Amino acid sequence: MASVKALFEPLQLGDITIKNRITMTAVTRNRAPDTYPTDLMKEYYVQRAKADAGLLVTEGTLISRQGTEWPLAPGIWDEKHIEGWKKIVDAVHEVGGHIYSQLWHVGRLAHPEAAEQKLAGTPVWAPSAISARGGKFRTIEGQPGYTTPTALPDPRTVIAEFKQAAINAKKAGFDGVELHGANGYIVTQFLDYNANQRTDEWGGSVENRARFGLEVLKELVSVFGRNVGLKLSPAGGYNDVGMPLEDTIATYSYFITEADKLGIAYVTLVRYSPNSDFMVDGKSRATHHDVFGTFRPFIKNAKVIVNADVTPEEGERLVSEGKADAIAIGFNFITHPDLVKRVRAGYPLDNIPDIPHLQTKTDSGDFSVGYTDYPFAKLD
């Protein structure tokens, strides 16, 4: 394996210094009964922190029960959530790790018949009453797809929920928070004019469609200062979003430029990947283009992290050439808790993925299977 020296230089992110440039991006694992973090989740994050992950970003963590798409996804909206996450954060810090909470709201991708949505007692909120195509709710009788949501009467109500979630994350001791602005969820829905057809200050022009995400970021910064990250996937595709290239560039270049002015710690750019594409009538919904090359120049202040199918070898080149500050790895971090140590030692990433247990369902039995039982390499 080629040298990975550049990946193992420390990096300043906001108020913290991470020990290397290999970060774990948010990956949904669905191991939180009734939305509350557990000791098993603590074991999962500590495994990776002890094995020298530069920065851990939690799985998408729901800011409200209303924003739930699946059972067993964790939340951060009440005191019991704070207590559960604090145990995890404290344990990660005890072994020398750093951890951000990714704040998440699914918008129109929830379903009114889902148990979590019924408990919320609110409609499925979205920018506009426009359904995403596709979807398959396996925990609902008949396995329905997405349905038409209710247009948010006042987006400020959800912005306030993001702020409260950040306050809760601060109480739990997180090093920072990351705004989930990728993958077709609520921030993306506001940015994308196919999902957002509002005629008020929150829709229409690029500036208006960007307003929601920027106002959320301002609130997060008001709580965490510069310890705020942003994850974006301008290529779209996943969850039925995507605009023509000219509109994509106009929208995201403005949004990234304005977000970068807020003094946030980093922006993670998610490149196009066939694994996250979405097909409609046999055609890709994604906007195929060089996401990193197109939008990297608009980031002047924040650190830049590249995500999606990035290998350590490519990451070493991007970092050594000064094009990226770090890399974010998802799937391989699921299957290799000691990923960073393997990369440093030139050891292969050869664990076999347990696909049926990537996202555990309520009837899966032992939640540790496919979660904390992946083997560590014998590197000593």
Catalogue the active-site residues: 185
Sequence-ordered list of residues with C-beta below 8 angstroms from that of 356, at least 6 positions apart, any chain: 370
Judge residue 239's burial from the number of C-beta atoms within 10 Å of its C-beta, 0-12 exposed, 13-18 middle, 19 or more buried.
buried
Amino acid at 257: T
Rounded-to-integer distance, Cα 363 and Cα 138, Å: 12
| Residue carrying the six token digits 């609110």 | 122
Rounded-to-integer distance, Cα 253 and Cα 176, Å: 24
**Centroid of chain to Cα 114:** 22
State both tokens at 276. Answer: 């996250």
Rounded-to-integer distance, Cα 279 and Cα 273, Å: 13
Rounded-to-integer distance, Cα 145 and Cα 240, Å: 12
**Centroid of chain to Cα 173:** 19
Q: Find out whether 54 and 326 touch, Cβ atoms under 8 Å.
A: yes
* Three-class DSSP category at 326: strand
State both tokens at 228. Answer: 């705020």
* 86-to-147, 219, 289 alpha-carbon distances in Å: 36, 22, 40
- Find the angle CA(231)-CA(232)-CA(234) to the nearest 5 degrees: 170
Rounded-to-integer distance, Cα 184 and Cα 178, Å: 16
End-to-end alpha carbon distance in the chain: 18
* 141-to-71, 115, 183, 223 alpha-carbon distances in Å: 14, 11, 26, 41
Judge residue 247's burial from the number of C-beta atoms within 10 Å of its C-beta, 0-12 exposed, 13-18 middle, 19 or more buried.
middle
Kindly state the DSSP code that residue 329 receives in the 8-state scheme: E
